Every structure is written in structure tokens, then in C-alpha cells.
Structure 1
């Protein structure tokens, strides 16, 4: 033990039950409510620094302001490549790779989302002609990446890159990195419903976290299942929070890039439990589009723990959780 450590122990009074001691703060960022919780000897500064990290990523990745790294890429579409920071490039490269798998996730879907505007003012059902025109701008094969120069180039005018479907998970993982570097052993990062827990839960003797799965037919906070799980991420894709009703038909906000229309599915929502939150973002979209878990989905990937499907006919199915649930 160092002299400094000895001095700290001599001047700092013991905190009873310090492992269960928690500090929690709420913030607003990424267009949603943020709740950060850390246990043990974590300080308010640890939470505030995590929030400042969120703000930094939001400044670089947002497409809801005129100026950001991604908006510079979008403004240059069809004209020239744009150099971005290493973190923005790494996330873009991952998003483009997944988009090219044609599994539902598409970082170039922006033109179609803006055409439908579901969940925003001016939401409408566009014509087939308008849909087809925007579909050609949503092909991820037209995104060119240069690893040597860290540049991103959208080759067609009107294309848009939007990492909103993956950014929260990536940012949550970076907060976990930050807290681990400071010796924080347990915590919970809630980015507007995108949840990441770290370490054992100090509130339960078994160390498992209790994570509720939202009931799509009920108000927020009403659950259909509670999963007992060690440190993990929980990410949900669902059709129940943003939708448009017109002429007796309900259109949800998740657009299928293959058709240009909201995805036709029997699934109301799927919550995926993974080790890393960015993987949860990708896999929740993959499963939502698939409508089920592909064969070997859990067994073939140690990063994946399980999923809970809630269908529009209200039945619930669980996949995985063999060692925890």
C-alpha cells in the first residue's frame, strides 16, 4: 500500500455498506432523458464526466443540428469526401458494414425516414413515386470509406448518413470504459431506455440485475417480463412509441429499406440482452426485422445472452438466458 493510500484511509471515515452506496443523476442529451447510477465510492464528478462524454459524442454525431461531423459528411454528399475523427470513423465503419448485411439496419435510411416523418410534425403517407426516388439514396453500397485518411464519402447528392440507430449503444459502452478506468465496479447507464449495467448488482445477494421488459400495449413502465441477468446491455426495438394513423391504417416508424414502407411484422417489440450495448443496438434491429431469433443466434455469439419477443397478438417468447434466467 502506498503512502497516499495510507493517508486516504486515515483521513476518510469508513462508509457503512459502501458497496451498496449509490449516486444517481438525471440529464438531458441525445434527445432523451439520461439517468446515470454508480455504486461504491463513485462521486458526482464521475457522473458529470460521463455526461460531458455524451455531449462530446453528440456534438460530433448529431444530425439534428446544422453543424457536426456527420452533417459535414451529409452536406458534402455527391461532391467530396470528408475527414472525421477516429471515433466517428470507427462507428461509421461498423454501421456501414452492418447496413450492407441487409438485415434491416441501414445507416443511410435518412431520406426515407424524412419522407414519412412518422413521429414528427408533417407525418404523411408518401406516393410510391416519392418512395422510389428516395430509396435509391438509401443504398449503403454508395458510402465510400478511406481507412488511411479517415474520410467518408456519400457518392450520390441527397444521401444522408444517420448513426442514431447505433450511437447510443456505442456511447454507453464508452461510459462503461470511463468508469472502469476509475475503478467503479458497479453501475447503470440508462440512455433513454437503452440500458447498460456493469458489474454485479449490489442491491441483490445474487448479484443479478432485475430488468423489466416493456409491455407494448401499456404505458411506459408496465412490464411483461422481468429478466434476472448479470452485467449486460438491454436494447429494445419496437413499433409502439411512434406511429401514424391515416385512413384506418396504422403506420409505425421503423422503415424497411427494401420496400420503402414501414416493416410488415407480427412483432410489437423485441428486447435483446448482450454484453456490449452497440451489439444490442444491431441485434435488436436484426431480430425485429427477422421476426424471430435465427438458429444458433445465442449459441454462436458469446456477446449475446438472450432476447424477449412481444408479439402484436400479446404473446411473449424468450430465447436464451440458459445460464442466468
Structure 2
């Protein structure tokens, strides 16, 4: 669904208080991307065990959330679309879909997990470099709409009313997984951890001066924003199209699909969100990418989150930020 453009480092003010501690890094490929756990500790054995548990939790979530695996719980639920059958779902799937329902309402129906048919169609278009025909696109659009998901809290069931609806958690699933990983690390006693799910970061306490996060400038191929962020006990996610844009018919399209048109958006923008947890940061960064700038700023404020928007306009790069975002920049 999106390309996340974040780089993480660790700045230490002094080594005197934690002479025996060091930063450990654990990595495994998960959900089609690289996942990383960074932890500041002197206990390498137990840290490794905790990281293994965190990665195992991601594997379990993938069996629930994946829209690529035909036997995942999500895929099985999608297969019931239009059948009139309400399906009892696991706590994790209920939680993420209910969160997605709330996100859809809060984002003026911009964040929509029922766009699976559209994203699948757009993947084919990006590969073939041909736009889908209006007829095919309208058929896919007719399968979308979070309002057609019926939730029964008493029985913990979900009914997909609209035939052909295909669910896609690509704009929230990795953030959800990152937050779950951090919770596991913290429960194991490693509060000073950072869990990175392909750029969706759940950030724990900092060991000294802080975890520093660099944001890549849009369309600059590795060049970072001059100021770095210093973060702790929060989450960060960035949505942008620096590496996954495609040119079709002389026009650039993002890999992020508009649920209103069924096509990738044509403007060039990068949105970074700071939130209380990684699932929230994940969906907010996508919703704010799709919304007009004034609405994006308002949505972030309503969610008690901070936002940075880098917007490539004909006149050059324009920057928009929420009032509190700048306080997280590292002081020179």
C-alpha cells in the first residue's frame, strides 16, 4: 500500500550509566518486508529470546491479516462477501477491523480496508503500465465501502454485505504488528526497545539522549531531511511514493490508490505522522496522504497526533506541519 521512508539511529549522551549495555539489532523478513527489533540492554540472551517471540507474533498475525495467503483468516472472511453469512472472527481480526471502521469514519471515508479489488487491479496496472478500463474499474469500485461491513459485538461476528468485497489491511497491518512486537518486548522487561515493521515504528523508552529518526526527502533517493527527530514512547509512520510511483500515458501515478477513483493518485506528497501507537500512525499517514492538506492537518489534530507533510508542487517543495511537530526535532 505504501512506501515508508524512515531511518533510525541511536544517540547516546554518555556511556557512564550503562557501561555494560549495548544496542542489539535483530532482523527477520516478515509480511513481504524487513522487520527489525532494536533493544538497548546488557542481557543479550533474554533479549534474543524476546525478539524471537516478537517475530513469532508477527507470523501469527500474518496468518490472520494477509490478503496474499488464500487460507488466512482475512481471505476466508473475504470469500464470504455477499453470501449473507456472518462470520465469527478472532480477537485480533475483530480489533483491527473495528479500528479500521473507526478510521474510515474519522477520515471522511478516505481510509477504507474494503479496497482489496482496487489495489489488486492497480498492482496489475502498475506491472503492465496500462490503466484499467473504465468498465473494469467501475466493477471493482462496486465492491468497496466500509459501510457494508456489519459488526455484531455481542457475537463477535462480521458480515460482508457487498458481493465481491476483498479486504486489504496493507495500510494498518504492519503498524498493528509493530505495536504488538513492542508490547512483547516491554512485557519481557526490555522497555528500551524499538520495533520497526517496514518503516512503521513502535518506539519504547530511550536509553539516554534518545532514538533518532531520519526522514528521507521525497524524490531525493536517500537524501534526508536536515533535522532529525528524537522520539520515545510513541510511534511514527510515513506514507509516500518516492520508490513505487509508475508512469502511465505520460502521467505519474502513486502506488497508493484513491478509494474514490480506483486509480493511484497523481500528486507527489510525503506524509509523516507521530501518534500514540503504531497502528494509529499507520492508518493516519495513509488517510492524510489522500486527504487535502487542510483536512489532513485537521484529522491529525483530532487524533492528538502530529504531522509533517512534504508536498511537491510546481513551484517547489512546500512543507506543512502541525504546531507540535517541530518540538520533536533534534536540537543542534
**TM-score bracket for the superposition, by shorter chain length:** 0.7 to 0.9
Name structure 2 gaps, 5 residues minimum: 1-15
Q: Which has the larger radius of gyration?
A: 1
Please give the TM-score of this superposition, normalised by the length of structure 1. 0.85
The answer to which structure, 1 or 2, has the higher relative contact order (CA under 8 A, 6+ apart) is 2
Q: Counterpart of 2:94?
A: 89
Is 1:318 the counterpart of 2:324 in the alignment? no
TM alignment of 1:298-313, pairs within 5 A? 300-302=302-304, 304=305, 306-312=306-312, 313=316
Q: Counterpart of 1:272?
A: 273
Q: Counterpart of 2:51?
A: 47
Offset at residue 323 of structure 1 (A): 4.5
For residues 213 and 163 of structure 1, do their structure 2 counterparts lie closer, same or farther at Cα, with a shift above 3 Å needed?
A: same
Offset at residue 229 of structure 1 (A): 2.7
Name structure 1 gaps, 5 residues minimum: 1-14
Q: Counterpart of 2:73?
A: 69
Offset at residue 71 of structure 1 (A): 0.8
For residues 120 and 180 of structure 1, do their structure 2 counterparts lie closer, same or farther at Cα, with a shift above 3 Å needed?
A: same
Counterpart of 1:183 (choices 189, 208, 217) is: 189
CA deviations over 1:55-112 (Å, ceiling 9, x no partner): 0000111111110100110111111222211111111111123224434211001111
For residues 119 and 189 of structure 1, do their structure 2 counterparts lie closer, same or farther at Cα, with a shift above 3 Å needed?
A: farther
Native 8 Å contact 1:103 1:289 kept in 2: no
Q: Counterpart of 1:5?
A: none
TM alignment of 1:122-141, pairs within 5 A? 122-141=128-147
CA deviations over 1:173-232 (Å, ceiling 9, x no partner): 1112112212212111111111221102x2xx4x3321111122122x431242223332
Q: Counterpart of 2:205?
A: 199
TM alignment of 1:176-255, pairs within 5 A? 176-200=182-206, 202=207, 205=208, 207-219=209-221, 221-225=222-226, 226-255=228-257
Q: Counterpart of 2:285?
A: 284
Offset at residue 22 of structure 1 (A): 2.0
For residues 227 and 103 of structure 1, do their structure 2 counterparts lie closer, same or farther at Cα, with a shift above 3 Å needed?
A: farther
Offset at residue 118 of structure 1 (A): 5.8
Task: Quote the Cα distance in structure 2 between the aligned partners of 1:95 and 1:271.
Answer: 19
For residues 234 and 26 of structure 1, do their structure 2 counterparts lie closer, same or farther at Cα, with a shift above 3 Å needed?
A: same
CA deviations over 1:212-256 (Å, ceiling 9, x no partner): 11122122x431242223332110111222222222112211111
Offset at residue 166 of structure 1 (A): 0.7
Please, what is the CA RMSD of the aligned residues?
Answer: 2.3
The number of residues matched between the two structures is 303
CA deviations over 1:281-324 (Å, ceiling 9, x no partner): 1221222122425466565544x2x2222222333333323644
Please give the TM-score of this superposition, normalised by the length of structure 2. 0.83
Native 8 Å contact 1:238 1:269 kept in 2: yes
Helix, strand or coil at the partner of 1:288: helix
